[in-house]
């Protein structure tokens, strides 16, 4: 469907965005372009505006000034639902009531609901898509379980399956590995990488935790105090002095089995 020629196309364009909540300015004059097929990492300390920036892309965040184009459309009241159907969104682990009467399969099916629109019920092809996505994230065996019975890592896999069930062109991941244990975190990052490559997606990954940043990032955006402070390829950005300035704390980098491990020094 999406051929290789398109990989240079701009899929997201944010121009001079200002967002403010009450008295706080969350984003100060931020501009960003994302190319189709790119894997973009956004890092920075808490409160830097990372989440605000990606919620602008699916219209959950409210713009005070500036412009946002996604998939060729300006974000407006009329276009936002259409855009949301084409953008998968995974937030950090939520507290789900363990008694919530919704099964894993039904949760993933929610991803189809936007596409289906009002008054239409899921048919066999929707169920097939859901089965396929559950298979992809390795959760088929838990399909009939109540969602609240799953562990955090399993719930995040289901959330990814739900986002993929939308058959999206873009995946927004907001701290998807936060509050997962190290093994679940590693496995989830591996899965995200596989999916990005296999599904030819554009992926934007937000994290405050440098060690949760996937290694396949094409570009890293460093955010601080509501602004894009620096951006570039990971090799240039993920350096001791830059990161120490970004987090206002001395950070040291160590190599371990081919991976960079970021530690707070001192």
Partner 1 sequence: MSIFGYQFMQNAILAAFLGGVACATVGVFVVLMGISFIGVCLSHAAFAGALLGVLLGFNPLLGAFLFSLGTAAIIGPLASRGELNLDTSIGVLFSLMLGLAFIFMGLMSGPKTEMLGLLWGSILTVTRTDLILLGIVTSAVVALVVLFYKEIQAVIFNREIALAVGIPASLILYGILFLTGSTITVSLSPIGGLLIFSLIINPAAAAYQLTYSLKKMFLLSAIFGVVSGWIGLLASYLFNVPSGAAIIVTSSLIFGLAALFSPKRKVKRWRVRDEPSRVL
The residues binding partner 1 (CB under 8 A) are: 58, 60, 81-85, 87, 89, 91, 94, 98-103, 106-107, 109-111, 113-116, 118-119, 121-122, 146-147, 149, 151, 162, 166
Residue 67 vs 120, nearer CB to partner 1: 120
Report the b/e string of 188-224 with b at 16+ CB within 10 A. bbebbbebbeebbbbbbbbbbebebbbebbebbbbbb
* Sequence-ordered list of residues with C-beta below 8 angstroms from that of 211, at least 6 positions apart, any chain: 261, 262
Residue 195 vs 238, nearer CB to partner 1: 195
Closest separation in Å from C-beta 232 to partner 1: 29
Residue 14 vs 104, nearer CB to partner 1: 104
Residue 14 vs 83, nearer CB to partner 1: 83
Closest separation in Å from C-beta 88 to partner 1: 8
- Give the Å distances, CA to CA, from 219 to 61, 78, 81, 238: 23, 31, 28, 11
Closest separation in Å from C-beta 4 to partner 1: 28
Closest separation in Å from C-beta 36 to partner 1: 20
Closest separation in Å from C-beta 154 to partner 1: 9
User: From CA 107, how far away is CA 240, in angstroms rounded?
Assistant: 41
Residue 110 vs 263, nearer CB to partner 1: 110
- Here the tokens at position 65 are 């000034």
User: From CA 76, how far away is CA 59, in angstroms rounded?
Assistant: 8
């Amino acid at each position: 469907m999406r051929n290789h020629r398109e990989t240079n196309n701009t899929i997201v364009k944010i121009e001079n965005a200002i967002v403010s909540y009450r008295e706080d300015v969350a984003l100060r004059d931020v501009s960003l372009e994302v190319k189709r097929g790119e894997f973009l990492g956004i890092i920075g300390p808490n409160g830097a505006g990372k989440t605000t920036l990606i919620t602008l892309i699916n219209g959950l965040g409210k713009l005070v000034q500036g412009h946002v184009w996604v998939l060729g459309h300006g974000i407006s009241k009329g276009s936002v639902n259409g855009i949301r159907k084409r953008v998968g969104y995974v937030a950090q682990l939520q507290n789900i009531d363990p008694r919530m009467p919704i099964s894993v399969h039904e949760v993933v099916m929610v991803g189809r609901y936007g596409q289906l629109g009002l008054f239409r019920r899921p048919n066999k092809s929707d169920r097939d898509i859901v089965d396929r996505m559950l298979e992809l994230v390795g959760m088929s065996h838990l399909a009939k379980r109540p969602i609240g019975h799953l562990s955090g890592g399993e719930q995040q896999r289901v959330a990814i399956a739900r986002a993929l069930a939308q058959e999206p062109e873009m995946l927004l991941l907001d701290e998807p590995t936060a509050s997962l244990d190290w093994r679940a975190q590693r496995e989830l990052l591996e899965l995200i990488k596989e999916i990005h490559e296999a599904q030819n997606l554009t992926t934007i990954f937000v994290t405050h935790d440098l060690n949760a940043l996937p290694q396949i990032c094409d570009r890293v955006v460093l955010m601080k105090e509501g602004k894009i402070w620096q951006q570039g390829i990971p090799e240039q950005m993920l350096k001791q002095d830059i990161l120490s300035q970004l987090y206002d704390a001395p950070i040291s980098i160590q190599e371990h089995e081919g991976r960079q491990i970021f530690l707070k020094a001192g």
